Amino acid sequence: MTAPPVGLYSVKKTNFIDIDPSKPFAWADFLSVVRAGTAARASVSAKRRIDAGHRTLLKLLDDPAVKIYGIHTGFGGLQGEAIADNDLERHQRDLVASHACGVGPEMDKFEVRAMMYLRARQLARGHSGISRRAFNAYLETLNARRPPAVPIQGSVGACGDLIPLAHAGLHVLERIPAGSLGPRDGLALINGTEASLALALLGLEESRHLWRAALQAAAMGLFAVSGKTESWSPEFIRLKKHREMEVAAEDLLHCLGSYRKNGLPQDPYSLRAAVHLLGASLKLLNTAEEMLTAEADSVTDNPVILPRGPSVFHGAHFHGIQVSLAADLSAWAVHLLGLTSERRTDFLLSGRRQLPSMLAARTKSSGLMMLQTVQGALVAENRILAHPASSDSIPLSANQEDVVPMAMGAALKLKNVVANASRVIAVEALAAGRAVVLSGRAKELAAKTNLAPFMERLRRAAGVVLEGEDRGFSMAIEMLALALRRPENIK
């Protein structure tokens, strides 16, 4: 697998995105709904499957011998409780209300839209037994100008992300008149992995952008210190049998254009082994993406309705271990980007290779010295956050949920790791650009390399601090960090 083209993570410009269960997950559709706020609607295929699934559920319920979890029973450790047929709607509404118990700060609008879009895609597969009325209400809530308020803490990703999905579900149920709720509509709204999956996919999207930014910053830094390119040569790199290393080497050399330099002294590992480090990070991100997009195309409910038979299967498709592992892998990959970025920054500030110490613009000035301290603090924090959430479990619900994946915790950690690493890489990018400017090689960079657009991004985000130090760096770093992990924000 290679580094995906940058355009893969671009927003599709359209009036509607069709939710079509016959088509695989597409980044362009996902980002159009999530980032651009494009309305989602059910395709003809989705409507047919939803209606067929609901009819199948009603047919199953016609048989008094059939008992289905969550319809005729309580939930979790209370599944032994029997529910009367005349109490089914209240049971579904009470379920959503009782599970809407999240705490902490609210998910941002992108995260809520991502969660609801992913859940809508899952419901459209027709295996949840949801009624068309409830599904339409779900899309109306997704497409509303103001998304539901959803606290971000509380889910362990075990029986799906019940709590955050329930907060959105409350808003959906408000659109459905009393007496018209389907027998499984409440549980169908909340029983899946889509909250943690949403955060993990958004974290992966930003991680991809950050990987490319780290590569460009490394290339610019190598140019600034007149570093060696022989360790990135294709014929040399192919001796290692890791395709992602070849991708990193190709991209680095493309960034450097016609600039080439060989011989001694050897550069430090953070430059000389940049291909190895970036390649390893890319492999983790590729693996994580494979896991997350497969989850996005999966049925994540329980129980699951199958039209043939008809039949109902009770299982654990809501278990978020795939999401948890993928988010942990992504966090490791991004942490690796950050810690090697800090090392390259140290070399740029060291006063070697005819660059001023600390890249100070004036004699006796501190230059970027304290920005490396900021990097150290952020890398140290990410070192803690990179510990895998999936490595532990806390049994819950009277031991009925005795192995839980901590998927939401893993996705939240990824979100924080990406934010921290983006600031670390922003400091490196600022240092690399500043080194080029202070050494008087900006014109040479533009003439010999393909890094001029990256330098322009630095100038637009960093402003005057790219060359001077008569004002604080904080705003420039925040602007640049955001531009690196979400390139559309450079505008």
Residues involved in catalysis: 69, 99, 191, 269, 272, 318, 401
Backbone φ and ψ for 489, nearest 5 degrees, come out as: -80, -10
The residue assigned the tokens 């319809």 is 71
424 neighbors 379 (Cβ within 8 angstroms): yes
- Positive or negative, the CA dihedral 160, 162, 167, 168 is positive
- The enclosing H or E element of 266 equals none
DSSP element (H, E) containing 73: none
Do the Cβ atoms of 340 and 277 come closer than 8 Å?
Answer: yes
The residues facing 82 across adjacent strands are 73
Return the SS3 of 106: strand
Sign of CA dihedral 37, 38, 41, 45: negative
Determine the distance from the C-alpha atom of residue 414 to the mean position of all C-alpha atoms in its chain, rounded to a whole number: 7
Question: What distance lies between CA 222 and its chain's CA centroid?
Answer: 29
Rounded-to-integer distance, Cα 36 and Cα 486, Å? 13
Classified as helix, coil or strand, 294 is helix
- Cβ-proximal residues to 331 (8 Å cutoff; 6+ apart), any chain: 385, 386, 388, 410, 413, 414, 417
Q: 306 φ, ψ to 5°?
A: -120, 130
